[in-house]
Structure 1
């Protein structure tokens, strides 16, 4: 596995997917190596310095990379790919568009490669012009050289067919049905009460649309709090912007990166969950929020609507006024909130299953190489 930052980690959706795939494959008898990246971790330096050799049966190789955010990913992708050439692997599985810039290298040596495109990363506003071109190049390399190409949404499947004439396999992310947690840690640490806060939980990067949510929330008369849970990902200017905006309203609580009991309690006790993204692949946080039985309010991009169907509320992408109207409606109509709560968990846990995801991925691994 190449392309994630590291496992175990909740830094982003790619890390969660690689964790679930690799550990479950090991349980099925596969031998799996994961190439972790050494570098900035949103939990802090002490986590980054933990370099385990094995994690739940998965062998870990940690690739040294420069601290510069602009060089970290590309150096990691190159070094991990070169190191993998000596692993005598049956399959090398690349994750995300950036690492796919190196996908042609193992193909030169006749190694079978699979790529998962987690989202059209070049569209994300946090990347500058050069980085976007590199990501687009990785996308083209994946379309041209991958023996099997996996996408997470029907929208991306249509995109690759129209843009490259490339057939892909639609294998969405999975979810584990969780147990609800009573209020404990988050009350003590942040003063939160059940149903008394709106939750945003994701990386704090421009494409997640958090600034829309803050602008809309500030104009609403409510005693409920807005909880912003997440760390930045090489978007420090945007993080500074969000911090400044949040400090202007005492109802806004910024927790930073969360995991474990705090994460579980936040999901279990929120009034509603909001994901106002401009761009998504398949948001793991949305799957998780619905699995906890949350009423969700999401931007109406195809990738979100494909997940929620009619089991959540939506607003027009980027439209702060529409977001404000929908928030006000949900804040004054607990009956609507309760309706979506009753439907969301059973729907999402029944539709997206990790065991099915793993079985379908292994099936692709075992297909004979196709002529391209």
Structure 2
């Protein structure tokens, strides 16, 4: 199959859940022998980089502004993918999916897929008009494509309730991680951290991720643990400055900026707790990653977080009332005072994500969806893992 991925900023992922999702999916599809083409933006992936782990990278320009970056790039990428004769054109995100009608308008033979990653209009960075456009993008995402994927059951339920559409559930995934030896790695030495003596949060520094709530709650806790905030902003310089000002009087709080590779693995693996204070998510990859490292989890009680926390017979972490600083403070104190209980949560979490959220199973489910749309009767090889696509018969949704 010739598969075009459109909507992401690029790969390899520097930041962003969509970019990480596309990277993991594209690399695995390419390893299965498919011709996978990921469209990239020059400010994210160097235009000179044409290949990444068997995936073809196609760099096209965009209008690098907050409101026009994604849609301008999506327009050019769609035209290019149609000219190149793609079998599958796969849009990622509701904003790019606004243009998912174009292949049918131009009578392209390609089958069109959209992945509904998140209810983006809930993000605080968007103004009134942008929210209305993103709401239209939600409708477009579940209306124009031949098949729409939801990365969480919460989004699947949302599409059913708001748009009366049945869409396919295929979750985000995670790579299982080996147990980490408790030692002070170079990464920890760089930030003067001791294994098991810090709380970590990994996210883009944008307002809807709720990092300001985490800082406010941590400042009121008397503990020798440190708080490590991993990530950078994206068109959110004022918010990043606000976070630094909020944390300025507490030397226990550390901002590492963007981290990847072994540095990020070390920061995850040696943390006592991982906290996700988001006010809006799709299905948080960072939460799955924390679980895969066997770290104790605390998350806001939005439906998408609860979906993971309560995915098994018993919860795999603790939740707090979204946006409630006092409740977050109470839950963090409780977790720090009960390390044995948090270790039990962490062990359950590690097992659960390996069983239900493996990237290999996500890829097989997506590949089978493509094959169904193209009329192939030969499914991708399947493992015994339970993570499979849940979808209706093909419709215009």
**Common topology (TM > 0.5):** yes
Task: Report how far residue 49 of structure 1 moved.
Answer: 3.5
Task: Report how far residue 188 of structure 1 moved.
Answer: 2.4
Q: Is 1:157 aligned with 2:162?
A: no
Alignment match, 1:45: none
Q: Is the 8 A contact 1:155 1:303 kept in 2?
A: yes
Q: Is the 8 A contact 1:211 1:242 kept in 2?
A: yes
Q: Is 1:87 aligned with 2:84?
A: yes
Of residues 335, 341, 344, the one that matches 2:340 is 335
Per-residue CA distance 1:140-181 (angstroms, 9 max, x = gap): 111211100000111111111121111100000111112326
Alignment match, 1:361: 366
Q: Is 1:6 aligned with 2:10?
A: yes
Q: Is the 8 A contact 2:176 2:358 kept in 1?
A: no
Alignment match, 2:198: 197
* Worse overlay, 288-297 or 75-84: 75-84
What is the number of residues matched between the two proteins? 365
CA distance in 1, matches of 2:365, 2:295: 28
CA distance in 1, matches of 2:302, 2:373: 36
User: Structure 1 residues 65, 159: closer, same or farther in 2, change over 3 A?
Assistant: same
Task: Report how far residue 259 of structure 1 moved.
Answer: 0.5
Alignment match, 2:98: 101
User: Structure 1 residues 260, 101: closer, same or farther in 2, change over 3 A?
Assistant: same
CA distance in 2, matches of 1:183, 1:136: 47
Q: Is the 8 A contact 1:276 1:298 kept in 2?
A: yes
CA distance in 2, matches of 1:342, 1:71: 44
* Worse overlay, 339-348 or 301-310: 339-348
SS in 2 for 1:136: helix
Task: Report how far residue 346 of structure 1 moved.
Answer: 1.4
Task: Report how far residue 371 of structure 1 moved.
Answer: 5.0
* Worse overlay, 341-350 or 193-202: 341-350
TM-score, with length taken from structure 2: 0.89
Q: Is the 8 A contact 1:37 1:76 kept in 2?
A: yes
CA distance in 2, matches of 1:173, 1:68: 28
Per-residue CA distance 1:304-344 (angstroms, 9 max, x = gap): 01112111111111111110100111112222222212222
CA distance in 2, matches of 1:188, 1:220: 24
CA distance in 1, matches of 2:13, 2:40: 10
CA RMSD between the two structures: 1.4
Task: Report how far residue 228 of structure 1 moved.
Answer: 0.4
CA distance in 2, matches of 1:371, 1:348: 31
Task: Report how far residue 367 of structure 1 moved.
Answer: 2.0
* Worse overlay, 273-282 or 329-338: 329-338
Of residues 66, 70, 75, the one that matches 2:72 is 75
User: Structure 1 residues 371, 275: closer, same or farther in 2, change over 3 A?
Assistant: closer
Q: Which has the higher helix share?
A: 1
Alignment match, 2:60: 63
Q: Is the 8 A contact 2:204 2:232 kept in 1?
A: yes
CA distance in 2, matches of 1:328, 1:63: 49
CA distance in 1, matches of 2:141, 2:129: 19
SS in 1 for 2:83: coil
User: Structure 1 residues 49, 364: closer, same or farther in 2, change over 3 A?
Assistant: closer
User: Structure 1 residues 120, 218: closer, same or farther in 2, change over 3 A?
Assistant: same
Alignment match, 1:44: none
Q: Is the 8 A contact 2:146 2:373 kept in 1?
A: no
Matches within 5 A, 1:14-25: 14-25=18-29
Which 4+ runs in 1 deviate beyond 6 A? none
CA distance in 1, matches of 2:47, 2:214: 35
CA distance in 2, matches of 1:184, 1:268: 11
CA distance in 2, matches of 1:269, 1:312: 17
SS in 1 for 2:247: helix
Matches within 5 A, 1:1-372: 1-39=5-43, 41=44, 48-49=45-46, 51-108=48-105, 109-110=107-108, 111-179=110-178, 180=180, 182-309=183-310, 310-368=315-373, 370=394, 372=396
Q: Is the 8 A contact 1:209 1:278 kept in 2?
A: yes
* Worse overlay, 102-111 or 193-202: 102-111
Task: Report how far residue 50 of structure 1 moved.
Answer: 5.7
Gaps of 5+ in 1: 42-47
